[in-house]
């Protein structure tokens, strides 16, 4: 897997970070459920760096996704043909089970958003001592699908005062796909290659 990315460098000291960490595959594990994790960039006081931190701003999208999954699931029950298909074809049945599991995970995510919003954790160390990154690191994407140029982000390194500068990274970074598992408190409990 390769992902074009942006480096974030403090103009005054050697502190540097990257948007690559936002692309890790992360899930919350809650019993049998695998709940999706949303993340954004934030300043973690414990890591003393910009990190991927939990984000709980997707409640509208999650509600919409639950509605459309419910609509799809109700089709399974609505006609005699689908009922017969469900009984006869294992693929049909497993597809339904997958959608049910997906819907249950999203319902759980909605509960999590209600409970945990305002108490987001750093996805590296679990600390709650974080501050939202309120700068802008967006860069243009060029012809070769890589970011171009650099720009001041408007976010200042806490305790240092240097501004973070976003710089296009002109190499595509290849990394093994690793799934990071968290408990519902946002603490890393396991990680494995997938």
| Chain residues in the site for Zn ion (CB under 5 A) | 10, 12-13, 15, 44, 46-47, 122, 124-125, 127, 157, 160, 162
CA distance 154 to 8: 12
Residue closer to Zn ion (CB basis): 4 or 186: 186
Phi, psi of 114 (to 5 degrees): -65, -35
In this structure, the strands spanning 147-148 and 33-36 are unpaired
Nearest distance, CB of residue 100 and Zn ion, angstroms: 35
Nearest distance, CB of residue 183 and Zn ion, angstroms: 16
Residue closer to Zn ion (CB basis): 44 or 62: 44
Nearest distance, CB of residue 50 and Zn ion, angstroms: 10
Nearest distance, CB of residue 14 and Zn ion, angstroms: 8
- How far, in Å, are 67, 90, 104 from residue 70 at the CA level? 5, 21, 10
Residue closer to Zn ion (CB basis): 160 or 178: 160
Which residues is 164 bridged to in the sheet?
A: 10
Packing angle between helix 80-88 and helix 59-78, nearest 10 degrees? 90
Residue closer to Zn ion (CB basis): 9 or 102: 9
């Amino acid at each position: 897997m390769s992902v074009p990315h942006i480096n974030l460098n403090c103009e005054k000291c050697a502190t540097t970070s990257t948007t690559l960490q936002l692309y890790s595959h992360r899930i919350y594990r809650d019993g049998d459920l695998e709940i999706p994790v949303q993340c954004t960039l934030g300043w973690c006081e414990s890591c003393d760096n910009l990190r991927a931190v939990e984000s709980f701003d997707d409640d509208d999208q999650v509600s919409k996704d639950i509605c459309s999954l419910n609509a799809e699931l109700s089709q399974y029950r609505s006609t005699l043909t689908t009922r017969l298909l469900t009984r006869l074809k294992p693929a049909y049945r497993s597809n339904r089970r997958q959608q049910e599991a997906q819907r249950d995970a999203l319902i759980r995510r909605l509960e999590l958003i209600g409970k945990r919003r305002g108490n987001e954790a750093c996805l590296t160390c679990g600390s709650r001592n974080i501050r939202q990154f309120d700068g802008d690191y967006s860069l243009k994407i060029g012809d070769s699908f890589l970011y171009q140029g650099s720009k001041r982000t408007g976010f200042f390194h806490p305790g240092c005062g240097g501004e973070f500068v976003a710089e296009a990274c002109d190499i595509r970074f290849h990394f093994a796909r690793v799934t990071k598992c968290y408990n519902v408190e946002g603490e890393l409990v396991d990680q494995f290659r997938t």
